[in-house]
Amino acid sequence: MNHRVRPDLAAIAGYTPGEQPQSGDWIKLNTNENPYAPSPEVARAVSAVLGGRTLAKYPDPLATRFRERAAALHGVDPAWILCGNGSDDLLTILVRSFVGEGQWLRMAYPSYILYRTLAQLQGARCEEHHFRPDWSLDDGFAAGNTASGEPLCLAILANPNSPSGTCLPPDRVAELARRLPCPLVVDEAYGDFAATHCIDLVRHDDRVIVTRSLSKSYALAGIRFGYAVAQPQVVEQLVKMKDSYNCDALSIAAATAAIDDQSWLATNRAMLLATRDRLTVAMRALGWQVVDSEANFVWCTHPSGRHRPVYEALKARRILVRCMDYPGWGDGLRITVGTDAEIDTFLATLHAL
């Protein structure tokens, strides 16, 4: 029964988020959240909003305070920043703004499957260009037309990519952007964990748009806040597509406090990268193939190919990892970097299996 929605909506599966158990004590290593509490400045900022009359009024439609801080951090003008209800909101705004019904989006594959869902919701089509086995990307990603000879309206690249955690160097991204006939969105949801980023490319190329998330690196997945960096004439267009009040007063306050505490970010990042490197070495010692990651998760495959049974056995012991299956590519386990104690328990459990 399709309840009389648009037939193309009834025909698609929709995006399936990772499992989010709302009770019980799980070791949760499946959706790349930060295992630590956010900066204490966040609680202070949120309490201040709760205490006053702020919640009785609509929030600032453009989250100006946050824009000013993010702009200062990245060395651009506030007019170059657009805030969103999580970076997923920005991805929605971008796909709706650039890709019309029946038009084409290109994504690298395997990557964040939401890009394809957003194209489908728009009545648009999505071309998936495969990574090479070493997770590099050939020039086909920048081809002028789709394989079927139709014009391309937008390309999206997660960098660092999920599930691989690999990151193309900015020079390579710049080259792809130059060759592409359309704008390129560089989804840097994990950019704070990587050695390099592409925000500088935006300065020289108005067709490059970078999105960032506060969910992972700032430990704020629960409040929903992200931002895009793009040239002001692009931001001006995107603003028309967003909900008037897409970021609420509590999340604006929380996100502003978080981005102001760069020393918290540096300390948290250093801890997670150390744990990630330890996890990588330990998994390899247990016979797994692990891709060198520039994010807060690692992509692991085992020569036996028995990924789903391992996922199930861990789940039975209240440890959640992500078992990903990419048709046409293969499957594997994506494991989020937890606390040291969580990773110790995970490794001991895996060893016992």
Ligand X SMILES: *Cc1c(COP(=O)(O)O)cnc(C)c1O
Interface ranges with ligand X (CB under 6 A)? 32, 86-88, 112, 158, 162, 187, 189, 213, 215, 221, 226
Length of the chain equals 353
For ligand X, the closer of residues 186 and 350 by Cβ is 186
Separation between Cα atoms, residue 195 and residue 205, nearest integer Å: 21
Shortest gap between Cβ of 216 and ligand X (angstroms)?
6
Shortest gap between Cβ of 81 and ligand X (angstroms)?
15
Q: Which residues contact 107 (CB under 8 A, 6 or more apart)?
A: 115, 116, 126, 127, 128, 129, 155, 156, 157
Q: How far is CA 99 from CA 116, 221, 289, 316, in A?
A: 12, 27, 38, 43
Shortest gap between Cβ of 86 and ligand X (angstroms)?
3
For ligand X, the closer of residues 183 and 226 by Cβ is 226
For ligand X, the closer of residues 216 and 307 by Cβ is 216
Q: Which of 302, 323, 325, 301 is nearest to 312 (CA)?
A: 323
Shortest gap between Cβ of 187 and ligand X (angstroms)?
5
17 DSSP assignment? P
CB 185, CB 158: distance < 8 Å: no
For ligand X, the closer of residues 32 and 117 by Cβ is 32
DSSP string, 140-199: GGG-SB-TTSPBEEEEEEESS-TTT-----HHHHHHHHHH-SS-EEEEETTGGGSS--SH
CB 137, CB 131: distance < 8 Å: yes
For ligand X, the closer of residues 17 and 287 by Cβ is 17
Q: Which of 256, 201, 217 is nearest to 63 (CA)?
A: 256
For ligand X, the closer of residues 76 and 90 by Cβ is 90
Separation between Cα atoms, residue 290 and residue 334, nearest integer Å: 10
CB 210, CB 199: distance < 8 Å: yes
For ligand X, the closer of residues 86 and 183 by Cβ is 86
Separation between Cα atoms, residue 279 and residue 282, nearest integer Å: 5
For ligand X, the closer of residues 224 and 350 by Cβ is 224
Shortest gap between Cβ of 245 and ligand X (angstroms)?
17
Q: Which residue is nearest to ligand X (CB)?
A: 86
Q: With 0-12 CB in 10 A as exposed, 13-18 as middle and 19+ as buried, what is 52?
A: exposed
164 is written with which tokens? 């691989």
